[in-house]
Amino acid sequence: MKAKVDSLEETDTYRNEIKVLKDAFDEMQASMKTKEKDIETLKSTVDSMESDVYTEVKELVNLRQEHEKFKEAADTEHLSLKALQEKVLRAEDSIKQLPSDINKLGEDLLQVKANLNKWEENELFRKALETFGKNSEGLESRLRHIEDSLESLNSVAAQNSETLQSFLSKEAEYENKLSTLEQSITSLQGISGMDVTSVTDVLKNLGESQTSLYNDVENLRRSISDLPSSGALQDVQKQISTLLDQGNLQTGQPHSQGYLEKFSSVEGSVDELRSSVSQVDADLKMIRTAVDSLVSYSVKIENNENNLESVKSSIDDLRNDLERLFVKVEKIHEKV
């Protein structure tokens, strides 16, 4: 009986140990279920982050494609501006010849007056000379007016050329900024280790250059508005035609033939000048079209800058989420 009682006491001890082990096992099982839920949550978070990263990469690819299109358009505008500059230089060469022709005309006029003094004794010629003297003052004033108009046109054309030179230099600087932007966008492909702040700074500098370029274009437009129109050149041609008609009244003397030829030469030069100015007007219309195109592209650049700001914010959030994820994973490893 004593042996049986001792065996019963040992059985109670085993039962207590089994109960303790069962409680510990239940606690471990509950802990494992909690950890499995945490792992599922982390997995869902990682999948969501991968989807966000894929979306951002697609947006960056679209941004690069838009930048390529803008660069092609800028190259085309650059070639057009070079062609326009050459045409303006040719027009300036034609304009520079006009003052020398007018000076020659004035010298011929003095020669005609000297020759007319020899014919003062002729009564018919004296009457014609008196008539010519009455009109000579108006003739000289009109010639001076024509010369002043041509000099003003030459001065405005020179200013326009300088403005075009400034515009071309700004356009080259703008192209350099675009090249820098392209390099920055290329570096965006390595998202994990990139510096988004530097890309934002590049876009800000590009925006400042664009604003400066837009101001230069506005100055160019104001200079264009100061350029004499084709109507002014037509008025000059009409004045020369009137002078020619008045000169035809004096064609009774052979000495006025050279004088009339000089007037005809000036009229031809004015025709060439009007043709050159018409060509310049057409080229300036092309510049206006190019400027409008640049303005539309500037809006796209601003949108791209906003998109990059959004990308920066998303990447910062992604980094923060990844850091939190790493912390949770480390905690899980420590618990395991």
Q: Is the pLDDT of residue 269 over 70?
A: no
Query: Token digits for 159?
Result: 């200013």
Q: What is the pLDDT of residue 57?
A: 82
**Which residues in 239-266 are b (16+ Cβ under 10 Å) and which e?**
bbeebeebbeebeebeebeebeebbeeb
Is 213 exposed, middle or buried, given 0-12, 13-18 or 19+ CB atoms closer than 10 A? buried
Please check the confidence at residue 285 and state whether its pLDDT lies above 50: yes
* Angle, CA 86 vertex, CA 83 and CA 87 arms, to 5°: 90
How many other β-carbons are positioned within 10 Å of the β-carbon of residue 72? 10
Residue 36 has pLDDT above 80, yes or no: yes
Q: Which of 247, 244, 242, 256 is nearest to 131 (CA)?
A: 247
What digits encode the pLDDT tens for the residues 320-329? 777 777 677 6
Q: Residue 208: left if φ>0, alpha if ψ -120 to 50, beta else—which one?
A: alpha
- The C-alpha torsion from 316 through 321 and 327 to 332, rounded to 10°, is -160
Q: Which residue has the higher pLDDT, 54 or 261?
A: 54
For 227, phi then psi, to 5°, come to -70, 135
Tokens found for residue 310: 């959004």
